[in-house]
Amino acid sequence: MNVELRHGMKPDLTADEAARGRFVSGLRSLILNDLAGDLKAAYDRRAAPAWERAHGKPPQTSSEAHKALRGDPAFNIYSAMRVQAQKMVWASVADSVEREAGRLASAAAAAAGKVKLNPALAVPKNVGAIDVHLMPGSYTRGGETVEAGAVYDRGLAVFSMGLMGANLDDIGLSMSRYISLKYPDFQPRRILDTGATIGHNTLPWKQTYPAADVIAIDAAPGGLVYGAARAAMQGQDVEFVQMCADRLDFPDASFDLVWSSMFLHELSKKQRAAALAEAYRVLRPGGLMLHMELPPNAEMSAFDGFYLDWDSWYNEEPYYKGYRDEKPPELCAAAGFAPADYVQFVVPSIGIYGEQAIADMIATEAAEAVGQATTGRLAEGVMWFGFGAFKK
Amino acid sequence: MSDTPRPDDTPPGLYDDAGNARFFADPAMDRFVAVVMNMAQELWVQEERLLALEEARGGETVDRDARLKAFIDRMFAPIRGA
């Protein structure tokens, strides 16, 4: 249920700190599996029929499902507990990060990871001025120290309930494995990860394509400092650079793969469009832009769409719903990619289902369908949604 | 938090004056939920301390994840099936 990180920056927890983290992971499992099931049952039994009686038809959209559920006891309990559990995630790691600040700083300096900060960069509001997913101080907590990275890494270990792997890299592992199997002739020489935070989903690409030069960028400095050390301690030669994805300081046609994971939904509509256009610009012909993200509302039922959109209202993810209301093929086309070169798939978590499941999905072409209750939903049986396009 | 942008179709009454999400008619209930969860967490910390003592005295090693699941299921049983 709880996960112990397996790298040199992992925490040296007291017994009480370990117990608090374990409890939060267990509580989140109750909320995201059991109470989520209660929420769906209440929606089917009470909320949706009541909406239909009032409006002549069941909820048609995520927003209507939200309005139908507001005030329902199951919704109130699920939501109030999920908000508090999210706050407990970050609280459960704050003590250990503060206590180990000196050790972490020394370890990071000794690791001598590759990192280039840009003090002149104006960190966007969506990165530093909003407590994204209720994380106090957001990504800029502690400035250029390793604090933000340590809080994020340790917090994500509690948050993920073991569903993101021992080093929180299941998304990157699953996606890179899918791409390498699906497109065996695609051999990127330069890879760019945008919005990489601590690079936990960057490293799998270096492992999959060890000859490639891999660069991870983010607007926030602390995560990069921490991530560079974390990567170096794992023997991974990845460069971390402070840069915004919507204003890349790279020449045209300089990468073969531009990747991101759980990033686009944290950008405003304007930033998102600019980031995709920048990805198109820096890709070489034959290159691939690939984003692991939440599935779009257009491919989900009203309830399942709202289940994911919940974060937009209650988890300080203000751009979440706006992103999910957009259509990925249209985003790619607007960035310059030809509609015929669009790709989209759902890949099983490699940690849960195993590598063979990915190969089987490719063989049967079953990887295209969005599963209503599994795709993008961090709970038992999670699968990851990916989309992008080749630049021809 | 109050400066956080919200989706365009956000229904009214979702947040208090400080921008905190509200779910219950009585705002005090939202705070009590947090208190109950914090209390359960601290009770589990004590439970783990006892387990460690019992193990140190020669008792069998306990699967903490399994014990925790049973603890949480028992503690929060009254809210299931709401």
Sheet hosting strand A342-348, strand order edge to edge: A114-116, A238-242, A213-218, A190-194, A255-261, A283-293, A383-390, A342-348
Quick one: pLDDT band at residue A132, thresholds 50, 70, 90?
very high
Q: Which pLDDT score is estimated for B1?
A: 45
* Average of per-residue pLDDT across A315-338: 96
Q: What is the pLDDT of residues A69-121, one digit of tens each?
A: 999 999 999 999 999 999 999 999 999 999 999 999 999 999 999 999 999 99
| C-alpha neighbours within 13 Å on the C-beta side of residue A341 | 19
Residue partners of A59: CB distance under 8 A and separation at least 6:
A47, A48, A51, A65, A67, A68, A302, A303
* Average of per-residue pLDDT across A226-247: 97
Closest approach of chain A CAs to the CA of B64, in angstroms?
9
CA gap B52, A329 in Å, rounded: 54
* Average of per-residue pLDDT across B11-38: 93
CB-CB neighbours of B17 under 10 Å: 6
Q: What chain A residue is nearest to B4 in terms of C-alpha separation?
A: A130
CA gap A46, A26 in Å, rounded: 28
Contact status of B7 with chain A (Cβ, < 8 Å): yes
* Average of per-residue pLDDT across A111-140: 94
How high is the mean pLDDT of chain A? Answer: 95
User: For B13, phi and psi rounded to 5 degrees?
Assistant: 85, 15
Answer yes or no: CATH 3.40.50.150 is held by domain A170-300+316-390.
Answer: yes
Q: Is the pLDDT of residue B8 over 90?
A: no
**Residues listed for chain A:** 392
* Average of per-residue pLDDT across A175-202: 98
Q: What is the pLDDT of residues A20-29, one digit of tens each?
A: 999 999 999 9
Using alpha carbons, list the distances in angstroms from residue A145 to A109, A183, A221, A342.
Answer: 11, 39, 8, 39
Burial of A184 (0-12, 13-18, 19+ CB in 10 A): exposed
Q: Do B4 and A70 touch (CB under 8 A)?
A: no
Q: Is the pLDDT of residue A346 over 50?
A: yes
* Average of per-residue pLDDT across B36-60: 96
CA gap A30, B72 in Å, rounded: 8
Q: Is the pLDDT of residue A68 over 80?
A: yes
Q: Is the pLDDT of residue A328 over 60?
A: yes
* Average of per-residue pLDDT across A341-355: 94
Q: Which of A147-151, A291-295, B2-6 has the lowest mean pLDDT?
A: B2-6
3-state secondary structure of B71: helix
Q: Which pLDDT score is estimated for A371?
A: 74
Q: Which pLDDT score is estimated for A102?
A: 97
Contact status of A313 with chain B (Cβ, < 8 Å): yes
Contact status of A36 with chain B (Cβ, < 8 Å): no
**Which pTM was predicted?**
0.95
Q: Do B1 and A131 touch (CB under 8 A)?
A: yes
Q: Is the pLDDT of residue A1 over 70?
A: no
Domain residue ranges of chain A, discontinuous segments joined by +: 15-112+122-159, 170-300+316-390
Q: Which pLDDT score is estimated for A354?
A: 94
3-state secondary structure of A289: strand
Instruction: Kindly state the tokens that stand for A106.
Output: 């020394």
A288 vs A367: which has the higher pLDDT: A288
Contact status of A77 with chain B (Cβ, < 8 Å): yes
Q: Do A1 and B5 touch (CB under 8 A)?
A: no
User: For A390, phi and psi rounded to 5 degrees?
Assistant: -85, 145
What is the maximum span of chain B, computed from C-alpha positions, in angstroms?
A: 60
CB-CB neighbours of A131 under 10 Å: 19
A364 vs A264: which has the higher pLDDT: A264
Percentage of chain A with pLDDT > 70? Answer: 99
* Average of per-residue pLDDT across A281-306: 97
Residue partners of A364: CB distance under 8 A and separation at least 6:
none
CA gap A347, B81 in Å, rounded: 32
Q: Give DSSP secondary structure letters for A304-336.
A: HHHHHHHHHHHSS-TTHHHHHHS-HHHHHHHHT
> What ipTM describes this predicted complex?
0.96
Q: Which pLDDT score is estimated for B26?
A: 93
